[in-house]
Amino acid sequence: MTSQEAKEIAERWIIDLHGPECAIVPQSIIEDDSYFVFQLNTKRYIETGGDCLGLLGGGPTVLDKRDGRIFPYGSGSCMATMESCLEEHKMRAERESVIRRSFPDYDMLRPCRVFLRKILDQRRLLELLESFELPYVIPEIETNTIWRVPKQYDKKLLRKRLSEPVPIVFGYAGAIGSVNNLYQLLAPEGHRKLCEISIEDYHLQKKTNDPSKAKHEDLEPEW
């Protein structure tokens, strides 16, 4: 993919997502043979040199020239500079390539559920899972509403989960299947394997917040 082709794809993506009033900030662009990195803002903001209100919270966006995938990063997702964000993304892309040796269809843009099929080292696996700061949700009914507030696993709850019969499913929002977490679970070269796993895409289910309309699946915990 040429620089011009990458720019055209990026421009179409911006229009589809944000509308024609937004565009690439020209001076933000950096690229190499594999990646085209840019920031976007309103055309008005770009034309005035920042003398009017622009988009808030936007960070670098990385377009992979090799397959056309686009990875938007929030302002707090990467380090301060475009260059450091690109380096961070390259690390994630390398980890994705390692994961694909075991799961060829894995795409770090898509959340996935993880099934622990066999535990080989429970103590170290427990420590690793705790470091992931994984979320879970147990629906609670209050003021005639079903509330689903994410909570963070602690060691006690993780230990209880790991004592369940396999396969043990972790799926809430696909957090365990992030590229960095999954890479560590697979124990790349030189590291002792902690478990055997399988994965599948995680699909967020729309659930009612009305207790009178709730079905069994609306009140189930999401681990």
Higher pLDDT, 52 or 106: 106
User: Is the pLDDT reported for residue 15 higher than 70?
Assistant: yes
Which residues are CB-contacts of 176 (< 8 A; sequence separation ≥ 6)?
113, 114, 129, 132, 134, 170, 182, 185
- Confidence label for 189 from pLDDT (cuts 50, 70 and 90): low
User: Is the pLDDT reported for residue 60 higher than 70?
Assistant: yes
Residue-wise pLDDT tens digits, 107-124: 999 999 999 999 999 999
Q: Domains plus CATH for the chain?
A: 3-81 (3.10.450), 112-219 (no CATH)
> Averaged over 140-165, what is the pLDDT?
96
Do residues 38 and 64 touch, judged by C-beta distance below 8 A? no
User: Is the pLDDT reported for residue 214 higher than 60?
Assistant: yes
User: Is the pLDDT reported for residue 198 higher than 70?
Assistant: yes
Please state, rounded to an integer, the average pLDDT across all residues of the chain.
91
User: Is the pLDDT reported for residue 52 higher than 80?
Assistant: no
Q: What is the 3-state secondary structure (H, E, C) of the chain?
A: CCHHHHHHHHHHHHHHHHCCCEEECHHHCEECCCEEEECEEEHHHHHCCCCCCCCCCEEEEEEECCCCCEEEEECCCCCCCHHHHHHHHHHHHHHHHHHHHHCCCCCCCCCEEEEEEEECCHHHHHHHHHHCCCEEECCEEECCEEECCCEECCHHHHHHHHCCCCCEEECHHHHHHCHHHHHHHCCCCCCCCCEEEEEEECCCCCCCCCHHHCCHHHHCCEC
User: Is the pLDDT reported for residue 73 higher than 90?
Assistant: no
- Confidence label for 190 from pLDDT (cuts 50, 70 and 90): confident
Amino acid 47: pLDDT: 86
User: Is the pLDDT reported for residue 96 higher than 90?
Assistant: yes
